Amino acid sequence: MNKILCCLIIVSVSFSSMAQSKYSNKKQNSTKSNSNVKLMPNETRLNIASSIYGVPEINYERYFTDNMGAGLAASFTLLSPADENQRYCILPYSRIYFGEKSASGFFFEANAAIIGRKRDTASYYLLETGPNYYTTTNIGFGAAIGVKLVAKNGIIGEVFAGGGRRFGEDSDAGGYLRIGVSIGMRYK
């Protein structure tokens, strides 16, 4: 009985050692193939849709994993104060991607905004005549959804839409829109 038990232990140990060596070889091969992937964690984009409207928006995004990134969008108006209510917007955001490629495909975005808006002093002070403007600052929180397409050479195309709620000293704080058609480039 002891001879049979010893033979079983020897056979099971030899099979387990062969299985471990096959598993470790597969793991090493998959690590080698993943190390050949070109990782480009930075991205810069220009929002063409808002630029046509007269409010250019520049985005910078950094990827932390294949499906998660954080970025900063900055926009400002080129229109005169009488034409446009929003003067500038600084918008940090975080995105979760659901595509098969690294940081691409359908995404969900959560954002916070710092928005500078024009205010007319004539509405506060009845003695003044003519438009006199000053800027107030509001903060806001919102979300957006979109799709990002990435070419092999690192060129990016993106379409997104969303909005958020503004809070601040304005009595009509309201909301803000986050809409865009962007192109850009990924780089190291």
Quote the Cα angle for 146-69-48, to 5°. 45
Burial of 8 (0-12, 13-18, 19+ CB in 10 A): exposed
pLDDT value for 49: 93
Position 59, amino acid: N
Encoding tokens for residue 155?
């060129």
- Quote the pLDDT of residue 17: 46
- Looking at the whole model, is its pTM more than 0.85? no
What is the distance between the alpha carbons of residues 65 and 39, in angstroms, rounded to a whole number? 10
User: What is the per-residue pLDDT across 46-75, written as a single tens digit (0 to 9) for each?
Assistant: 999 999 988 899 999 999 999 999 999 999
pLDDT tens over the chain, length 188 residues: 555 545 545 545 454 444 444 444 444 444 443 433 455 799 999 999 999 988 899 999 999 999 999 999 999 988 765 455 778 999 999 999 999 888 999 999 999 999 888 766 655 555 555 556 677 888 999 999 999 999 999 999 999 999 999 887 665 668 889 999 999 999 98
As its CATH architecture, domain 42-187 has Beta Barrel (2.40)
CA 42 to CA 40: how far, in whole Å? 6
Residue spans of the domains in the chain: they are: 1-36, 42-187
The beta-strand segments (E) located in 121-154 are 133-150
Beta carbons within 8 Å of 91's beta carbon, 6+ residues apart: 72, 73, 74, 75, 111, 112, 113, 114, 178
**pLDDT score recorded for residue 24:** 44
